[in-house]
C-alpha cells in the first residue's frame, strides 16, 4: 500500500501537517467524546475512524472520553457498549478511559473563577422567561434582571446550588458574555444547572452538573488535546469554546475543527429518534439488525473492515450531504465477496425426489470458487433434496435457466437432474418434483454433449438442518425519514421478512456474526442472540446485488 493510500488526505490532515511543520505542535492528540446516552451509530463510526485514524497515522494519541454531564439520560450499559464498539472497529484508546465527571471538581473551580471575575452569575429566570429574554435571530436579547448581582451574592447562591438547597429549575449559573451577540450561543449561555440525580460514576456527590459547552473545551484542555474535531452543528459553539478557555486560568488552548456529519439514506441518525424506536418497541433493541447502530450492523453481519472502508470512501469534508445506502452495502459486498466462504441454504423449499438415485453420497465442494486456500467441505447428497420453489417451473421460456418440467439443470457441486413429473396438493401447490439424475455428470458435462446451462443450489432433505432466515430491508420507505412530520409513519412494514427452510449440516456450528455467501441468495450470518446449534437463525446481511438501484431507475 502506498503512503497516499494509507493516509487519505483531507482538510483536517492538511491542518495537522501544517501545524507539525510550523512547530505549533510537535505531536498529535485527538479524542472521541461520546455521551453515554445511547448506542453508537454509523455516524459515530465516521468520527471514530477520523480521530483514532489520525492518531494512528501520526503516531499520536487518541483518548476515549465519556461526556457524562447529563446523568438522567446516561447509563453504564451505554458506556460498556461504546467501549465494545470502539474495540470492535479495530481501535485502542490511549491510556485510561476518561470521563468528564473526572473533572467535576476542577470544573466547579473554574466556574468559581468566572464568578470572581464578574463573568458568570446565578440567574433565577424560569426556562420560559429565559427563552423570551434570549431574543431571536433578528432581534437582540435583553439582560436578565439578575445579571448584575454582586460577586459575593453569586458565590453564595452558587454554593447553595451545590449544597442541594435550591430546587431544580429555580436557579442556574450563566456565563456573562453578550446578550446582543449575533450568535445565540453567546447570549449568556447556561453553564451549570441543578439536577438531583445519581450519576453512574460519581453517585450522589453532586446535585449541580456542568453543561456540555462549558465542560467540553475544559476537558480538551486538561487532557492536552491538540486538535478537537467535531461535526458542523458545533461550528457556532466554537466561539463559546474559545471564550471559556480564554477566560479561565489554564495552560493548554486547543482549537476546534468542524467537519460534516454523516447522513445516510433510509435511516435516522438522531439518538432521540433511535431511542424512540427502541422504547416504543418498533425494533427489537439498539442492536436490531435494521438499526444504523454499530451493534446492529455487526449483528446483521457487517464487518469492521467494511465500515472502516465505507468511512474512508465517503471522506471528510465541510459540505453536508446524504450518502446512498448502496454505498455502505457496496463496501460489505466487496469485503464478503472475497472473504466469505460459500454454503448452501434453501429459504423457500420444495422437495425433489431423485427416483433413480441410491444410497446417500458425500460430495466434496469448494468453500470459495476463487480461493483454494479456503479449502473444501463435505456435503451429503441424498435421494431427496430441497430446492428453492422459485427455481422450478412447469413451463418457461429459454431465458429461464433453472429447472423446468421435462428439462435438465445441474445441482451445484453435484449431478445433472431432469424433472419428470410433479405432485400438487388440493390447492394446486406443488409439493414434490420427481426427477432422474445422470450418474455420469459429477464434476463434468454429459457424455453425449448435451448442454446444461442452469445451476441451482440444494440441501439434502435427509441431512439438512431446519433454519430460520431473517431478510432485512430498509427500515424506512423514504430516503429522508427525519424530514417527515412523523418519522414513525414512514417505517417500512416489510423491513423484516422471516422464512423457514434448510441449510447444509456444516452450518450447525456456524459462528455468530461470521458471514457466509448462501449460493445465489445473499450474504448471511448466524444471529448472535437467537441462533444456537439446536435452533439455527440466520440474518441476511445484504443481497448479492443492489436491487434498490434498479427500483430507483
Burial group, residue 340, by CB count within 10 angstroms (0-12, 13-18, 19+): buried
Question: Does 529 qualify as catalytic in the annotation?
Answer: no
Q: How far apart are CA 400 and CA 403, in angstroms?
A: 8
Q: Which of 271, 300, 333, 474 is catalytic?
A: 271
Cβ(66)–Cβ(33) below 8 Å: yes
Among the listed residues 532, 530, 487, the one whose alpha carbon sits nearest the alpha carbon of residue 507: 532
Q: Strand, coil or helix: what is 125?
A: coil
Q: DSSP for 509-521?
A: GPPBT-EEEETTT
Q: How far apart are CA 256 and CA 15, in angstroms?
A: 12
Q: Which of 73, 195, 261, 393 is catalytic?
A: 261
Question: Does 271 qualify as catalytic in the annotation?
Answer: yes
- Which DSSP helix (H) or strand (E) runs through 263? strand 263-264
∠ CA 74-76-78, rounded to 5°: 70
Strand duo 120-123 + 172-175: pairing: antiparallel
Q: Which of 7, 35, 273, 383 is catalytic?
A: 35
HSE value, Cβ hemisphere, 13 Å, CA-based, for 459: 25
* 139-143 long-range contacts, CB within 8 A, separation 24+: 140/179, 140/180, 141/179, 141/180, 141/187, 141/188, 142/179, 143/179, 143/188
Q: Strand, coil or helix: what is 16?
A: helix
Q: DSSP for 40-91?
A: -BHHHHHHHHHHHHHHHHTT-EEEEEE----TTT--HHHHHHHHHHHHHTT-
Backbone torsion region of residue 428, taken as left when φ is above 0, otherwise alpha when ψ lies between -120 and 50, otherwise beta: left
Residues with active-site annotation: 35, 261, 271
Amino acid at each position: 500500500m502506498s503512503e497516499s493510500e494509507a493516509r487519505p488526505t483531507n482538510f483536517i490532515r492538511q491542518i495537522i501537517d501544517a501545524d507539525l511543520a510550523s512547530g505549533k505542535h510537535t505531536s498529535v492528540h485527538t479524542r472521541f467524546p461520546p455521551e453515554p446516552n445511547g448506542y453508537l451509530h454509523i455516524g459515530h463510526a465516521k468520527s471514530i475512524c477520523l480521530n483514532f485514524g489520525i492518531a494512528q497515522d501520526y503516531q499520536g494519541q487518541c483518548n476515549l472520553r465519556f461526556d457524562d454531564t447529563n446523568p438522567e439520560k446516561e447509563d453504564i450499559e451505554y458506556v460498556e457498549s461504546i467501549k465494545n464498539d470502539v474495540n470492535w472497529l479495530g481501535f485502542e484508546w490511549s491510556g485510561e478511559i476518561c470521563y468528564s465527571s473526572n473533572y467535576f471538581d476542577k470544573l466547579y473551580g473554574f466556574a468559581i473563577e468566572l464568578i470572581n471575575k464578574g463573568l458568570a452569575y446565578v440567574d433565577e429566570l424560569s426556562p420560559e422567561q429565559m427563552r423570551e429574554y434570549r431574543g431571536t435571530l433578528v432581534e437582540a436579547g435583553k439582560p436578565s434582571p439578575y445579571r448584575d448581582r454582586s460577586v459575593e451574592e453569586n458565590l453564595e447562591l452558587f454554593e447553595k446550588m451545590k449544597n442541594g438547597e435550591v430546587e431544580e429549575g429555580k436557579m442556574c449559573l450563566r456565563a456573562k458574555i453578550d446578550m446582543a451577540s449575533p450568535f445565540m450561543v453567546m447570549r449568556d449561555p447556561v453553564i451549570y444547572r441543578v439536577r438531583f440525580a445519581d450519576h453512574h460514576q460519581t453517585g450522589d456527590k453532586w446535585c449541580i452538573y456542568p453543561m456540555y459547552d462549558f465542560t467540553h473545551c475544559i476537558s480538551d484542555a486538561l487532557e492536552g488535546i491538540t486538535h478537537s474535531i467535531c461535526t458542523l452543528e458545533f461550528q457556532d459553539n466554537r466561539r463559546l469554546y474559545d471564550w471559556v478557555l480564554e477566560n479561565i486560568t489554564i495552560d493548554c488552548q486547543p482549537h476546534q475543527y468542524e467537519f460534516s456529519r454523516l447522513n445516510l439514506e433510509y435511516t435516522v441518525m438522531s439518538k432521540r429518534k433511535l431511542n424512540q424506536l427502541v422504547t416504543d418497541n418498533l425494533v427489537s433493541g439498539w442492536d436490531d439488525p435494521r438499526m444504523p447502530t454499530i451493534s446492529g450492523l455487526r449483528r446483521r453481519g457487517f464487518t469492521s473492515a467494511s465500515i472502516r472502508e465505507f468511512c474512508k470512501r465517503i471522506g471528510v469534508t465541510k459540505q453536508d450531504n446524504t450518502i446512498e445506502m448502496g454505498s455502505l452495502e457496496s463496501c460489505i459486498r466487496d469485503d464478503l465477496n472475497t472473504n466469505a466462504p460459500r454454503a448452501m441454504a434453501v429459504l423457500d423449499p420444495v422437495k425433489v425426489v431423485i427416483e433413480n438415485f441410491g444410497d446417500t453420497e458425500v460430495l466434496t465442494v469448494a468453500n470459495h470458487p476463487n480461493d483454494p486456500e479456503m479449502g473444501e467441505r463435505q456435503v451429503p447428497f441424498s435421494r431427496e433434496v430441497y430446492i428453492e420453489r422459485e427455481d422450478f417451473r412447469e413451463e418457461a421460456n429459454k431465458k429461464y435457466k433453472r429447472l423446468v418440467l421435462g428439462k435438465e439443470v445441474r445441482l451445484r457441486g453435484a449431478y445433472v437432474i431432469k424433472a419428470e413429473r410433479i405432485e400438487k396438493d388440493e390447492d394446486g401447490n406443488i409439493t414434490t418434483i420427481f426427477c432422474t439424475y445422470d450418474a455420469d455428470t459429477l464434476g463434468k458435462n454429459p457424455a453425449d454433449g448435451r448442454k446444461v446451462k442452469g445451476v441451482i443450489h440444494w440441501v439434502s432433505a435427509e441431512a439438512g438442518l431446519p433454519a430460520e432466515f431473517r431478510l432485512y430491508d430498509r427500515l424506512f420507505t423514504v430516503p429522508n425519514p427525519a424530514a417527515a412530520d412523523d418519522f414513525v409513519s414512514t417505517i417500512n412494514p416489510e423491513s423484516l421478512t422471516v422464512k423457514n427452510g434448510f441449510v447444509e449440516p456444516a452450518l450447525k456450528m456456524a459462528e455468530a456474526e461470521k458471514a457466509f455467501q448462501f449460493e445465489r441468495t445473499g450474504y448471511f450470518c448466524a444471529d448472535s442472540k437467537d441462533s444456537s446449534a439446536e435452533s439455527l437463525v440466520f440474518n441476511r446481511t445484504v443481497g448479492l446485488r443492489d436491487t434498490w438501484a434498479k427500483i430507483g431507475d
